[in-house]
């Protein structure tokens, strides 16, 4: 990482989201930056591009993973849940315990790869209750909170809104809106999910609209941050657009690209 910002020197922050198990590139993501910002989804449960990767195929094989992706992509969520339940019943093990063990193995590697300093918030597939065990002294976890980096104020809101997918960290619209309100006016508003704008929430590969936040969109219009940064939608129809005075940027599917998005001022 670069030295702590000072004087008139420019500040450089690297931003990643949707890491999904990419430990190798995460270990280099902070090179040349004053800080790394991570917008969540560290865990890889199932890779929609490579069905051999993730917790699900490790447990049930690539063929079953491909079938699950097929059902979800077709928005046949009830069938997908029934299919998954039948697989779990067949292995005769405690589902929650097995997933937690697998997530712990991934977190042990991922949190070790974070550079110092890292500012991180949760994604919808993360398990927040485990983060305190793995976040080292150089990693600050923020959710509904603010921090100053290089003279700019960054606000962080983690997690996703409730969906038929029922991922681990989905919360109500009211709880999410309260965290947005708690952050208030900032220079850079950092969230896992995007504002509720059709072009920003549509995934062109999954062929569906992901859930964005209307409260986030309203906050952008009201408080006018310089930037709204987010991830969640891996292959968005539009990666970048302006909403009033705010530059809204999907910082990318880091698991696939391996490259952080760069913010410099």
Q: Are 123 and 232 in contact (CB under 8 A)?
A: yes
From the list 171, 156, 170, the residue with the least C-alpha distance to 118 is 156
What's residue 4's pLDDT? 47
pLDDT along the chain (265 residues), means of 10: 60 98 96 98 86 84 90 87 86 79 94 98 97 97 98 98 92 98 98 98 90 98 98 96 98 95 98
Burial string for 67-81 (b: 16+ CB within 10 Å, else e) reads bbbebbeeeeeeebb
What's residue 7's pLDDT? 54
From the list 206, 226, 223, the residue with the least C-alpha distance to 215 is 223
What's residue 231's pLDDT? 98
Q: Are 177 and 215 in contact (CB under 8 A)?
A: yes
**Alpha carbons 119 and 140: distance in angstroms, whole number:** 5
Rg (Cα) of the chain, in Å, rounded?
18
What's residue 92's pLDDT? 67
**Alpha carbons 150 and 191: distance in angstroms, whole number:** 19
Q: Are 250 and 231 in contact (CB under 8 A)?
A: yes
DSSP H helix total and E strand total for the chain: 10, 15
């Amino acid at each position: 990482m670069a030295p702590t910002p000072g004087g008139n020197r420019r500040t450089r922050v690297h931003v990643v989201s949707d890491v999904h198990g990419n430990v190798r590139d995460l270990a280099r993501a902070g090179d040349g930056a004053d800080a790394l910002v991570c917008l969540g989804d560290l865990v890889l449960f199932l890779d929609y591009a490579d069905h051999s990767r993730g917790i699900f195929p490790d447990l049930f094989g690539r063929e079953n993973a491909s079938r699950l992706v097929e059902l979800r992509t077709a928005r046949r969520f009830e069938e997908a849940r029934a299919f998954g339940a039948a697989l779990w019943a067949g292995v005769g093990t405690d589902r929650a315990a097995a997933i937690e063990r697998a997530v712990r193995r991934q977190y042990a590697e991922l949190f070790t790869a974070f550079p110092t300093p890292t500012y991180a918030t949760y994604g919808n597939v993360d398990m927040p209750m485990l983060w305190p065990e793995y976040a080292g002294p150089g990693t600050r976890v923020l959710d509904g909170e603010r921090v100053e980096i290089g003279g700019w104020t960054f606000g962080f809101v983690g997690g996703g809104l409730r969906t038929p997918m029922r991922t681990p960290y989905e919360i109500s619209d009211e709880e999410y809106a309260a965290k947005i309100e708690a952050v208030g006016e900032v220079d850079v508003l950092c969230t896992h999910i995007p504002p509720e704008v059709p072009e920003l929430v549509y995934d062109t590969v999954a062929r569906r609209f992901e859930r964005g936040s209307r409260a986030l969109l309203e906050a952008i219009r009201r408080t006018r941050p310089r930037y709204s940064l987010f991830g969640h939608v891996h292959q968005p129809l539009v990666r970048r657009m302006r909403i009033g005075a705010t530059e809204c940027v999907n910082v990318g599917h880091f698991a696939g690209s391996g490259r952080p998005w760069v913010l410099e001022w």
